[in-house]
Amino acid sequence: MISVIILGAGNVATHLYHALQRAEGVTVSQWYNRSIKQLQPFKNDIEITNDISSLKAADVYIIAVSDDAIKDLSKALPFSNRLVVHTSGSVSMHDLDKKNERGVFYPLQTFSKDVDLEFSDVPICIEIEHKSNLRMLNDLADAIGSTHYRVNSEQRSVLHLAAVFVNNFTNQLYRIGHEITESKSADFNILKPLIKETANKIENLSPYLAQTGPAKRNDKKTIKKHLKALEKDIHKDIYELLTKSIKQTHGKKL
């Protein structure tokens, strides 16, 4: 039985709590957050605390707080020589205080607290300081049903950077598409099958081979028409920049 203590109460921490509570071979023995108010809904299911000095002994301590808070929280932990991991994609493992054994348990997925998520759809990127801790973190990922990958710091960093492009930036493009359809009272829902098919396509094709559209075809008339139809300058800038990028990728003349 792997005993776990969660530190933090944001989106990642909350999803991990639910997944670990359901997992066989794992017990969440305590949940810490600086503000106890966020943990009150769970007080009948798990021991909650906002007193860091009261943390119990556990096999793994998972720090799931904002990136800026990881270093100070790890320094404040009132023990040493235990396994402490954080869940960030961008923070160095060495930002964790060296008094403890350090690692990273990075779930590479988008998390919203009120949206259900199956951890079978959440790859876990694992980084460790001591090889002896790899089995523990692998077993923890297996227990919640996640595929896990051992990565180094550089790989985790570029995965996080790439995730910003494929998730955060893509979502902003959805938002722009929504604004464009709203401007003429067109129904954005009509685009949802296209969004799903675009995502599904790269299950079997590389993004390079999956690319379609006027920029790849170098359809200058359509591109010009689109730019004229866009009402916001920032939307024109984004359209032109992405069109330029696609043309460069596919060897079209600019």
Q: Are strands 101-107 and 124-128 parallel, antiparallel or unpaired?
A: antiparallel
State the pLDDT at residue 93. 96
- Domain with residue 193: its CATH number is 1.10.1040.20
Q: 125 with 181, same domain?
A: no
State the pLDDT at residue 138. 97
| Residue 53, domain extent | 2-151
* 125: CB partners within 8 A, 6+ apart: 89, 104, 106, 107, 108, 148, 149, 151, 155, 156, 159
Q: Which residue, of 151, 173, 196, is where some domain finishes?
A: 151
Identify whether 138 is part of a domain: yes
State the pLDDT at residue 227. 96
Q: Which residue, of 123, 151, 179, is where some domain finishes?
A: 151
State the pLDDT at residue 98. 96
Total domains in the chain come to 2
Q: Which residue, of 151, 185, 214, is where some domain finishes?
A: 151
Q: 37 with 140, same domain?
A: yes
Identify whether 12 is part of a domain: yes
State how far the Cα of 31 lies from the Cα of 40, in Å rounded to an integer: 11
Q: 116 with 193, same domain?
A: no
Identify whether 254 is part of a domain: no
- Domain with residue 49: its CATH number is 3.40.50.720
State the pLDDT at residue 114. 75
Identify whether 185 is part of a domain: yes
3-state SS class at 26: strand
- Across the range 167-193, mean pLDDT stands at 96
pTM for this predicted structure: 0.88
Q: 11 with 118, same domain?
A: yes
Q: Are strands 148-150 and 60-63 parallel, antiparallel or unpaired?
A: unpaired
Banded pLDDT at 254 (limits 50, 70, 90): low
Task: Locate 123 and state its tokens.
Answer: 């790859």
pLDDT digits (tens, 9 = 90+) for 69-110: 999 999 999 999 999 999 999 999 999 999 999 999 999 998
Banded pLDDT at 190 (limits 50, 70, 90): very high
Identify whether 213 is part of a domain: yes
pLDDT digits (tens, 9 = 90+) for 129-168: 999 999 999 999 999 999 999 999 999 999 999 999 999 9
